[in-house]
Each structure stands twice: as structure tokens, then as C-alpha cells.
Structure 1
Amino acid sequence: MTIKIGSSVRIHRYAIGISIILFILFYIYAIREVSYLSSRFNNKQKFVSLRSLLKSSIKASKLGGIEIADVHNNYKNINIEIKGKTKEGIDDPVTIADYKSHCAMYNYLQTMFPTINIISEESKKNCDDVLSSSDAIIAEETIVFDDDVDGYYDTSIDPDDITVWIDPLDATKEFTENLLNYVTTMVCIAIKGVPIIGIIHKPFGTSDDTYWAWPEHGYSKNLAAIKNSIVNDDNDDDDGGVVKPILIVSRSHAGEINNISKNAIGDNVKIISAAGAGYKALEVISGNATAYVHNTLIKKWDICAGAAIITAMGGSVTSLTGQPLDNFGAKDNVSLDDGILATMKHHNWYLDKFVKKY
């Protein structure tokens, strides 16, 4: 019997060589495939569905409202703290309701959209020390939407262009005084610094008290009803102005703005003092006031949602010196120094009068 050892060795070496080459080719293919899949995944993560963000923002506003109502209904001590003074020298309070609402809203949105910029009034609070109410935990899965948000238009936005502004409890002072009609939670979605989508929720209202608007793409049912009813009224004069101006202003400086308004417009003006920027914005939208005027510093989380909704409804919001609101990006200052003028009609008429007196 003859054993051809040399031939066997040559075949074995040849097989090993082929195996190495095949392994290298497989390795290169695997690396390219992983890179391709990773690239596709990253591209998917790079853009944010604006419709999904709207829906989650509506939900966040309601979760915050549940926390506020829970504190009001079940807490004997709401832990009032004074975090500073307003521009008018009034104490600026914060309560456990502010913190609980902030944590519910901020954590939910951050979990759903970890790549976007979120700015909240109470962002310095450590949410690990704040427990959510059982109602809010249950509601996170059971909140029912009155509007079919899923049926609306959608577009994808680079998260670097998105800044979400949260006001977890607007009108805290009034909340401590049990003036609950002024209390709102608000979320605003700004794109490249411009407030685009606004949500205002009234925790102590009816089931229909969540207002949201996305210009040209959708409105909450309550706002759609208002928009459909907006027509020319008898409050227009022949010169394009207003026969009976009704201004809504902050309770904290009603006297000062009263004097400024009468100097600017005349004794015919009516002044309504109210609390909460969200509440005042809704009063302008619904026609109970012809203009919302604020003549001192205001924080952007106070005005962003109202500005987005008013603009979406066909109104206008600028500083009291006429500057557009286009600096609501993540790197912009959190304050507006030149006041606010918000109207549904005759914006330039009001602006012309206030610019001369401001």
C-alpha cells in the first residue's frame, strides 16, 4: 500500500488557504453590513416625527395637570417656597405641584425623545426625589385623545433644530390662592427658534380644556370651532383700528399698564387684570380681549405656547417694540426683555400706539 503524504499535505494547505480567503471575504461583508444597518438606524434616529412629538406633548401637558390636581386634592402642605422676585417686585413662588408636574412632563418627553432639547421652568429640580402620583402613572397608558392626532400631516425634523419649552404650572401664585381657573400647563415646540406648535392644558377645566394648534396642519376641536367662528365684527372702526379696545394684563402690574394703555390709546380702553400667560393668550384667542399686553420682562416658557397658538390661529405676537419672536432656540436667553403684544386683529394699530409710549 502506498500513502501519498505530500499530496495530502498540499490538499490540506489548499483547503486552509481557501478557508482563510472565504473568512476574510465574509468578515469584510459582515463589517459592511453592520455599518450599513447602523447607518440606517442612525438616520432613523436623526430625525423626529413632528406629529409624534405633538401627540407626546399633548400627553405630557395632561400628565402634568394630573400631578397638579393630585397636589391640590390630596396634599395638606404644598410646600410653598419663594425662588425670587418678579420684575414687579412680587414674590415668585414654587410648590411641590410645580416640581411634580415638571418631573412628569420633562421625564416623559425626555424618555420619548432623548435627542431633542427640552427647557423647563423648574429644570433644576432633582426628579429622583419627587414621586409621581398613582393617577399619573396609570394615566400615562390610558390618556384618551379627544382629537385624532394620528390622522394629521407629518414631517421629520432634525432634533438639533427642535427646542421644547415646558411650563409645568403657569400661575403658581394663583394656585396657592385657590384661583384655579388661571392655572395651566404648557408645552411649546419651537423649530429653529420660532414657536410653531403650542399646547395649553387647563387641569381644573373640563375634558375639553386642552388647546393645541399646528399652523395649517391641525387644531384641537375647541380651537377649530373658534377659528371657524372668527369673522369681522362691529368692533372695527373706519380707520382700521378698534372701537372698544379690551386689554388683558397681568394682575401683578395692572395699575402700571393701565396708565401706559390710557396714555397710548385713550380713556376708551378697558383693562382686564388676570393671571397666567396661558390663560391670557386663550382669552385673546376666544375674543374676550382684543389684546394681551405685558410691558416688562417675561420668561419664554410663559409665552411660547400662547404665541404659537395665536400665530397658528391667524393672530400676531411680537415684543412691545415690534420685534418678532424668533429666538426660542436652546442656546437663546430664557427671557424676553421688551414685553409682549398679542392680538388676533389690528396688531399694527396697537403696536403703533404702544411703540410711541414704550
Structure 2
Amino acid sequence: MTDSLPVPVTAPLTMAQRAQILNLIRRAAKTEILPRFRKLSSHQIDTKTGIHDLVTEADKGAEAMIARALQTMFPHALIVGEEHASLNPEILEKIAEAEICFTIDPVDGTWNYAKGLPLFGVMLSVLRYGRPVYGLLYDPMVNDFITASAGGPTELVMPRNLRRTLETTKGGPIEDLVGFAPVALVPKDKQAQLAATFPKFARITSLRCACHEARMVASGNADFVLFAKMTAWDHPAGAIAIQQAGGHVAMLDGSDYLVGKEGYLLCASDAATWGRLRDLFDFLLDAPAKPVNA
């Protein structure tokens, strides 16, 4: 494991607490998300910052259920859900000072979900003073989790509590890499330059779902992911999952990743691969992406 994402070495949650959280996420998906999939009416889908930034009744219902249960389990924790924070952005200012903060992305990949594409997930993280110390990435369609905790391995948790430890790839030269990069989320004047790097790779795309992009890297099925939309809920779970699987995680400018930072987050299979990617993408540092509450 690398030291690119400094975190405390002690686990933030007990095994019993982690089991409770896994069960909670499963219940929320079974109650609020899966019953609505491919059954949403137009009045159950709304927009936030633009026509492609969607929110559905499933997002709202799942977040309310998860947040309510977490606040009962952890009365003194700060709970930051995507939908609540989008309407109340002042809560984001409390993250850096919070000893324990839960972030919730109730349906990551809402555009996919709303369009009937079965590629979406639920993400939850625990932060200590803005640093991720626990991450959970759930696929409701398959009913499995990728979880990671400070000081421990990254695991795939399947039904019947079957577990498998995950490792990132060994990386390699640019021409051999498979990864993800978000052309639509970088500044307009940098989009063509970013797209021009794509032929250099073995394969590069976007899944429109940070949960599954991070899962692919953490499980050794892809080599890197570049994130350009810095929110409190889109990245911390994936960042710790990739790091604890052996990857290298840092902001594109080389600084440590902390929730609340502006710019770009680059997660790669190892430090050497991360360095090659940073050199390729460093033109983006001239125009850092702005944080959004979407």
C-alpha cells in the first residue's frame, strides 16, 4: 500500500457497525431504489444545476432513509448527503472540523439510473477532519459491496458475506493503460486537449458513474481514473478503496486528497503509473475544475 492518501491507521468503525451499515444500504436499495428503476414518471425526475444533472425520487428517498438511520447510530456525527447538501451547501463548511463525518451519495450515476441503464451505485464514506477513513461502494443490481477501511485491505463483499481481497493492477506505460476521464467536466477550452490524449491509451472512456469507475480500478479491472468534479460524496469512498488496494491517490498537483479541495483527483494503480499520467494531464492544472454541489 502507498502513503499517497495519509489516514489514521486505526479502523473508524467496529465490525458490528460496518455490518449494520451494509444492511442499511441494502435495505435502502431494496426499499427506495430498485422498486423505482425503469418505473419513474417524468414528475419523479428533476434537474439541479443543468439538464444533465438529475435528481429522482429514489435519490431523495434513499438518502433520507440512510441519513436518518446513521444519525440514530452515530448521534454526534456530521451527516452530509448529496441532496441535502445541494440545497444547504453551508453544511460543507463543517466537514474539515468534523471528527466523524458520513458522506452519502444515494444514487451515484443518477443520469444512468433515470435513463434505465443498470449502471449506478450507492456510495458512503467516513471522514475524519476531511480525510477518508472508510469507504463503501455498493452495486444494487448485483448486491455486492467494495469496502475499505484505514489500515486494512480493500474487499469485495458478496451475498452470504463471502469476501475477496482486491488489488490494483501493476500499471505500466501509457499505451497499455485502461482508464476513465471526464471530457464533459473539464473547462471548455481544455476539452479538445484532453480528448486528444485518448488515442495514446489502450482504452479510455467514461461510465458516468464514479462508483463503478472507482470499483473498476480498485478491483484491478482498470488502471486509473481522473476525477474533475470535486464533491464531498463522489470521491472519498473510491479514493480509500483504490489506495487500500495498493493504488496511488493524490490531487493532480501532487498534494494530498482532502474533501473540499478544488482541482482534479487522479487515482492510479501505482505511484509510477500515477506519475506518467500526471505528466500527460498536467495541462489541466492551468485551468483547475471548479467544485460543484451537484
Cα deviation, 1:198-248, whole Å, max 9, x if unaligned, reads 00111112x4x21111143354345963536x574xx63xxxx44412221
- 2:44 matched residue in structure 1: 79
Q: Distance in 1 between matches of 2:169 and 2:215?
A: 17
Q: Distance in 2 between matches of 1:254 and 1:269?
A: 22
What is the TM-score of this pair, normalised by structure 2?
0.75
- Pick one of 316, 319, 325 that aligns with 2:257: 325
Considering fraction of residues, name the structure with more helix: 1
- Pick one of 166, 170, 176 that aligns with 1:227: 166
Q: Distance in 2 between matches of 1:272 and 1:255?
A: 18
What is the TM-score of this pair, normalised by structure 1?
0.63
Partner letter of residue 54 of structure 1? R
Q: Distance in 2 between matches of 1:58 and 1:252?
A: 33
Q: Secondary structure at the match of 1:204?
A: coil
Q: Distance in 2 between matches of 1:321 and 1:298?
A: 14
Q: Distance in 2 between matches of 1:125 and 1:264?
A: 33
The reply on whether 1:350 has 2:287 as its aligned counterpart is: no
- 2:127 matched residue in structure 1: 190
Where in structure 2 are there 5+ consecutive unaligned residues?
1-10, 88-96, 286-294
CA shift at 1:303, angstroms? 0.7
RMSD: 3.2
- 1:301 matched residue in structure 2: 233
The reply on whether 1:164 has 2:86 as its aligned counterpart is: no
C-alpha spacing 1:193/1:71, structure 2 compared with 1 (3 Å)? same
- 2:218 matched residue in structure 1: 285
Whether the aligned pair in 2 keeps the contact of 1:215 and 1:313 (CA below 8 Å) is no
Q: Percent identity?
A: 22
The reply on whether 1:176 has 2:114 as its aligned counterpart is: yes
Q: How does 1:234-249 map to 2 (within 5 A)?
A: 236=172, 241-249=173-181
CA shift at 1:59, angstroms? 2.6
Q: Distance in 2 between matches of 1:101 and 1:286?
A: 26
Q: How does 1:1-358 map to 2 (within 5 A)?
A: 50-51=13-14, 52-66=16-30, 67-72=32-37, 76=41, 79-85=44-50, 91-123=52-84, 160-180=98-118, 182-205=119-142, 207=143, 209-222=144-157, 225=164, 227=166, 232=170, 236=172, 241-250=173-182, 252=184, 259-261=192-194, 267-268=200-201, 270-294=203-227, 296-326=228-258, 328=259, 333=260, 336-345=261-270, 346-356=273-283, 358=285
C-alpha spacing 1:264/1:292, structure 2 compared with 1 (3 Å)? same
Q: How many residues align?
A: 257
- 2:93 matched residue in structure 1: none
Where in structure 1 are there 5+ consecutive unaligned residues?
1-47, 127-158
Q: Secondary structure at the match of 1:220?
A: strand
CA shift at 1:91, angstroms? 2.7
The one of the two structures with greater contact order (alpha-carbon pairs below 8 A, sep at least 6) is 2
Q: Secondary structure at the match of 1:293?
A: strand
Q: Distance in 1 between matches of 2:180 and 2:113?
A: 19
